[in-house]
Amino acid sequence: MAVVTIVGAGMMGSALAFPARENGNEVRIVGTHLDREIIDRSRETNRHPKFEKDFPEGIRFYQIEELEEAIKDTDVVIGGVSSFGVEWFGEKVLPVLPDGMIVLTVTKGLMDTPDGKLLTYPRLWQEKLDAMGRKVSLNAIGGPCTSYELVAHDQTEVAFCGEDRNVLEYLREVMTTDYYHISLSADITGIESAVALKNGYALGIALTIGLNQKEFGIDSPLHFNSQAAVFGQGMKEMYRLLEFQNALCLENLCVGVGDLYVTVYGGRTRLVGILLGRGLNIDEAKAELNGVTLESLVVAERVARAVKVNVEKGILKAEDFPLLMHIDEIIMDKKEVNIPWESFTFRK
């Protein structure tokens, strides 16, 4: 049995408490400064406010001020913050972890640099740890997994990635259940980039749903030809971006494509894409969603910015990324949705 401490009481972090606890581990959940009500409610009811199922018995809940108490004797820390909490996690959590701690993050996203590089979050955190002279084992989760379906025990397959195979095998042993299945990979760049990129491309696919609702009516039957066309183009562009980032195993694109499939069929990214396709500009779509955080917009903006830097350097070609470039125009320049269908075609 291991002691697993999850930092971040959002839906995904909290959902991971189910396989962790049901596999026989001691589990602690620490809320961030934004999770106070969630922790209070979970203490009172043993249920996350957004779940329809109680937590497994025996989980302990902590407010952020109790972090140091929560990580005493901990074997694994799971980072359950959203991409908007990446810097917070690096500044407030990593520095208090003892050397040798195993960290497993579920946060998906990429950061771009002025010279056009795209960095995974484990890479960003590693640079911070190196500057502090600290040694922590950073590992990450990628793959198609929605929190509410994990809680419901829907069959789920994900990938854990990290540099140390022995650590990955240990994490697999700690977290595997009869409904939570885990592949292992040393390709941190490939796994983490693929699952981050899917956010921006899922938005692109959702644009077609809004376009068809605009033309045929909101309650009209779904049209799948257009969704499939954009899905295919998104896969091509994701592949090219993994090549650009020197991913170790391009087969790991499959992890991101599975995640892309899940994201298109539900969630905030689907909603904003539909609204944009119906004709709203990005400001109007954000207002319609009433302040909901949209990681897909951040990822698309950062990746497009990096691509444009590398196009200027002659490393990449803009015509290889027509979908990404159009999504960027919609977000940054508030252009109307006008998917460049013909640019998706090829002659080989």
pLDDT at 60 > cutoff 80:
yes
3-186 folds as Rossmann fold (3.40.50)
How many CB atoms sit inside 10 A of residue 220's CB? 11
pLDDT confidence of residue 84:
87
pLDDT at 291 > cutoff 70:
no
Sign for the pseudo-dihedral over CA of 212, 216, 217, 221: negative
Per-residue pLDDT band for 14 (boundaries 50, 70, 90) equals: very high
* Active site positions, annotated: 198
For 2-21, what is the mean pLDDT? 97
Strands 3-7 and 137-142: unpaired
189-344 folds as N-(1-d-carboxylethyl)-l-norvaline Dehydrogenase; domain 2 (1.10.1040)
Per-residue pLDDT band for 265 (boundaries 50, 70, 90) equals: confident
pTM listed for this prediction? 0.94
pLDDT confidence of residue 268:
85
Per-residue pLDDT band for 251 (boundaries 50, 70, 90) equals: confident
For the chain, domain boundaries: 3-186, 189-344
Any idea how long the chain is? Answer: 348
pLDDT at 94 > cutoff 90:
yes
Using only C-alpha atoms, the chain has a radius of gyration, in whole angstroms, of 20
- For the segment 25-58, what is each residue's pLDDT rounded down to a tens digit? 999 999 999 999 999 999 999 999 999 999 999 9
